[in-house]
Structure 1
Amino acid sequence: MALLSENTRLSSTGSYALEMDGVARHFGALVALSDINMKIAAGERRAVLGSNGAGKTTLFNAVTGDFDCTYGRIRFFGEDITTIPAHDRIRRGLRRTYQISQLFDGLTILQSVYLACRGVSRRRFSLLRPRDRDANMEQARSILMAVHLYDDADLQVATLSHGRKRQLEIAFALAGAPRFILFDEPAAGLSPTERRDLVAILGALPSHIGYVIIEHDLDVALRVSEYVSMMHNGRVFKEGTPEEIENDAEVQAIYLGDGHG
């Protein structure tokens, strides 16, 4: 099986993979998100930046269904998914990674990715062991090539460095046939060499797979994105290309600091 089958870049109603219309999330009196309006094209690579508490991860949680929206609507390739359970959003091709690693420490890398592929397949409840030419096993090996873990396939997850574990999380997000991925701070805690590897992995993803990346490492975020949405106090306050955002005086003053450049 190929790593990922080609998906149409157009939804039935337009060219957007992800649309948020007036999305808000309240926690009692706390307004974590307010009137988020965002349209992200199929295949687009978008960065969402902002200081701690700006609402970035809450936005991801609303898109994936981990949190309900207090107000607003979310559409995924033209389909309203606002009230669809999180597991059904996964089956529609939406994936995400998390800030805190959630891995199978007792398994090998290959076994872990195989289970991730099996978990989103039609045969996920089968008790049969995989055959030599099992499609999920073939896809797992292909994914390990894509995330630079193929040579370490037989290593136990518990023995991996932090950076290798972050690469494994990306492998999980590629399981099945993802149409769009949300990356939540994938460069957190990585060394300079591991950051360069991460940029290479994201840059080599199939062009039909779009993603949004939350990242505090601005050098990484601006290198792997085509467009940037800046958040502040639960709202989107500025958007533009990486070059426009990097050179914007207000953004530099608030987020980048006087020494950036």
Structure 2
Amino acid sequence: MSETGLEQAAVAVSNSASAHALELSGVSKLFGALAALSEIDLAIKPGERRAVLGSNGAGKTTLFNCITGDFLPSSGRIRMFGEDVTQFPAQERIRRGLRRTYQISLLFNGLTVRDNVYLACRGVSRGRYSFLRPRADDSLMQATEDLIAAVHLSDLIDTPVAVLAYGQQRQLEIALALAGAPRLILFDEPAAGLSPTERRDLVDILTGLPRHIGFVIIEHDMDVALRVAERVTMMHNGRIFKEGLPEEIENDPEVQALYLGGGHE
């Protein structure tokens, strides 16, 4: 490689290392005359855990849809690890390490926990189009078992999804999102509908994720969000209302007045 080529490669590596995992600049999304998002600026570091909070209609899910490529923004730019992905389709963002869970479960109810996770691993692997049955020494099968253990479902590995409790299905969705070495995961209200015990288990799972995997969590349960996040972004009417550390957001009088109706214990 020429000296110029080496210099260019060094600059590229440096830019990639210093780039934000996710960066939104002036992102807006219009549906006719309705501005669902207005001039959103957001920067998340590699490995960072960020919570996005706000009341219904604040624009949180629209924000996720723009990040994943389900919606294209009406204006503004979206970058992942320094690369402009504003016009990229969803599958190209997945190839670059983005994953997402949804409010509604998207699982194969007739298959087992093992089969669901194996298919997720297979779907992001080079051999995803192969029709051969997996062998006993298949590396993806070991990865499957590791992911199931990470979400505390090893005892249910051969259980059909249809008979799992709701909270266990949400745990399984996290395992699917972890398939294929993601770099950034978007969690869309993972605590919705969970019991107090299941929520504590969810917190343990999220805080136990490898540190190189960053995530953004939309959550109405502030107790869950504030325990797993390093920084918090509050949204209101399609705009960013506040940003800060969890304790700053929790004790902010404007946040309490707008979202909590007073003190938060």
The two structures share one fold, judged by TM-score above 0.5:
yes
Distance in 2 (alpha carbons) for counterparts of 1:207 and 1:147: 16
Structure 1's unaligned 5+ residue stretches are 1-9
Matched, 1:133 2:140: no
Pairing 1:165-244 to 2, within 5 Å after superposition: 165-244=169-248
- How far residue 257 of structure 1 moved from its aligned partner, in angstroms, is 1.9
Pairing 1:70-219 to 2, within 5 Å after superposition: 70-219=74-223
Counterpart secondary structure, 1:213: strand
Aligned-pair identity in percent equals 69
The amino acid of 2:257's aligned partner reads A
Distance in 2 (alpha carbons) for counterparts of 1:110 and 1:257: 44
Alignment correspondent of 1:28: 32
CA RMSD of aligned residues (A): 1.2
Distance in 2 (alpha carbons) for counterparts of 1:34 and 1:131: 51
The structure having more radius of gyration, on CA atoms, is 2
Aligned mate of 2:54, from 50, 56, 62? 50
Distance in 2 (alpha carbons) for counterparts of 1:90 and 1:121: 12
The amino acid of 1:82's aligned partner reads T
The amino acid of 2:99's aligned partner reads R
Counterpart secondary structure, 1:219: helix
Residues 11 and 17 in structure 1, CA contact (< 8 A), matched pair in contact too: no
Distance in 1 (alpha carbons) for counterparts of 2:142 and 2:87: 34
The amino acid of 1:138's aligned partner reads Q
Distance in 2 (alpha carbons) for counterparts of 1:15 and 1:149: 35
Distance in 1 (alpha carbons) for counterparts of 2:139 and 2:35: 45
Counterpart secondary structure, 2:18: coil
Alignment correspondent of 1:5: none
Counterpart secondary structure, 2:21: strand
Q: TM-score, normalised by structure 2?
A: 0.94
- How far residue 260 of structure 1 moved from its aligned partner, in angstroms, is 2.0
- How far residue 15 of structure 1 moved from its aligned partner, in angstroms, is 3.7
- How far residue 11 of structure 1 moved from its aligned partner, in angstroms, is 5.6
The amino acid of 1:105's aligned partner reads N
Counterpart secondary structure, 2:61: helix
- How far residue 136 of structure 1 moved from its aligned partner, in angstroms, is 1.1
Alignment correspondent of 1:251: 255
- Larger proportion of helix: 2
Residues 113 and 172 in structure 1, CA contact (< 8 A), matched pair in contact too: yes
Structure 2's unaligned 5+ residue stretches are 1-13
The amino acid of 1:228's aligned partner reads V
Alignment correspondent of 2:11: none
Distance in 2 (alpha carbons) for counterparts of 1:34 and 1:11: 28
Counterpart secondary structure, 2:109: coil
Counterpart secondary structure, 1:195: helix
The amino acid of 1:148's aligned partner reads H
Counterpart secondary structure, 1:228: strand
Alignment correspondent of 2:264: 260
Q: TM-score, normalised by structure 1?
A: 0.95
Deviations 1:103-145 (CA, angstroms, capped at 9, x unpaired):
1001000000000000000000000000111111110100000
Alignment correspondent of 1:38: 42
Distance in 2 (alpha carbons) for counterparts of 1:259 and 1:44: 27
Distance in 1 (alpha carbons) for counterparts of 2:190 and 2:137: 32
